[in-house]
Amino acid sequence: MIRDVSLIIPSQNAEKNLFKLLKCISEWDIIPNEIIIVDSSDDKLIIPNYFNIFVKNNNIKLSVIYGKNLYPGHARNIGIEASNNNIVAFLDTSTMPKRTWLSSGLEILSTQNSSGVWGKTYYEADKFLAKIYKASTFGDKPIKTLPGSILKKNVFKRCGLFIETTRAGEDGDWINRSIVHGLNISIPYEFLNYSEFNEVNAQQILRKWFRNYSHSSQLPYSKVHRDFYYYGVSFFAVLVAFNWNAVLASWDSESALYIPNITKISALVILISYIFIRGIFIPKRKGVSLKFIFPINFIIISFFSAMIDFVKILAFAFSKFTKKI
């Protein structure tokens, strides 16, 4: 069945994943009548012949729009402006929808009379280290995402288009704007699958986090400040503890204000608090099972989380420094 929906797919040097997605589209129970690929790859994209035959046989309008060095938000805006339908759907090349993703979303859109349906992405992890990466970041519950969203086109007149000048965070910024504007956007029944955790190493993840937070920390909704404040408060607490006995007790062990080993105690409390929060509490809240967290994986999770937090703070400082320059 063909429906009047414009599917927008930004792509950049991801030919293998894009072709996998195109093959998936041909197997859907409901197919959009317009597919717009906004490509900014180094080499010109050549659509596989089988997909050209598929769109021709089903009278689907396929548009491939080329641009140079397009960020995701810019690519999506180009797709929105080029679309011919009143409903637009978004996918990217790193997530894979189920066969009934579009039909399920359109059913929600019609029965709930909402302005759209959010995307929801589940981050897969089969290998041990991939599970550690996932526990340290997104967790084991599907999360709200812009990819996978199906929206009425008029919402962009109300909330505006995506920010075009940032490599990451433009989707979170738009989601935040939709909330501020009070849009009625429904929760989906189905979710997309993201499997790249199984294909990357720790260095690649940290580099990606640095890149993304360098860009997104400039956006109003950014929460990187929360990590900055945590470490700032921790540093201040250690500084106060280091000077407590000298300033308030004059190093008099008989004084009521004298606290033995206060610096070590303070540092230990901060360390234990961090391990509990990042290694146990937050992963559990995000759906990671206690069976995986214990008996010792929480230590590995908290260690990798500390690396990510450190990279985020570096990215935050770097973005502020470069902005001033």
**pLDDT on residue 99:** 92
**In whole angstroms, what is the distance from residue 263 CA to residue 88 CA?**
57
**pLDDT on residue 319:** 72
**In whole angstroms, what is the distance from residue 312 CA to residue 304 CA?**
12
**H helical segments located in the chain:** 15-25, 49-57, 72-82, 101-111, 128-136, 155-159, 170-180, 202-216, 224-248, 262-276, 282-285, 290-293, 297-324
**In whole angstroms, what is the distance from residue 140 CA to residue 67 CA?**
36
Burial of 199 (0-12, 13-18, 19+ CB in 10 A): exposed
3-class secondary structure, 279: helix
**Beta-bridge mates of residue 268:** none
Q: Which two tokens mark 210? A: 């640095």
- Tell me which residue of 14, 23, 13, 102 sits closest to 55, measured CA to CA: 23
Render 122-181 in DSSP notation, one character per residue. EE---SHHHHHHHHHTT-SS-EEEEEEEEEETTHHHHH----SS-SSSHHHHHHHHHHHT
- Tell me which residue of 66, 64, 47, 75 sits closest to 147, measured CA to CA: 75
For CATH 3.90.550.10, the residue range(s) in the chain are 2-199
**pLDDT on residue 77:** 96
Amino acid identity for residue 1 in this structure? M
| pLDDT per residue rounded down to tens, the chain (325 residues) | 778 999 999 999 988 999 999 999 989 999 999 999 999 988 888 999 999 999 999 999 999 999 988 999 999 999 999 999 999 999 999 889 999 999 999 999 989 989 999 999 999 999 999 999 999 999 999 999 999 999 999 999 999 999 998 888 888 889 989 988 889 999 999 999 998 888 888 999 999 888 888 877 667 655 545 555 556 666 666 666 666 666 666 666 667 666 777 677 777 887 888 899 999 999 999 999 999 999 999 999 999 999 998 888 888 777 766 655 4
The CATH code of the domain at 2-199 is 3.90.550.10
**pLDDT on residue 322:** 66
Q: Are strands 2-11 and 87-90 parallel, antiparallel or unpaired?
A: parallel
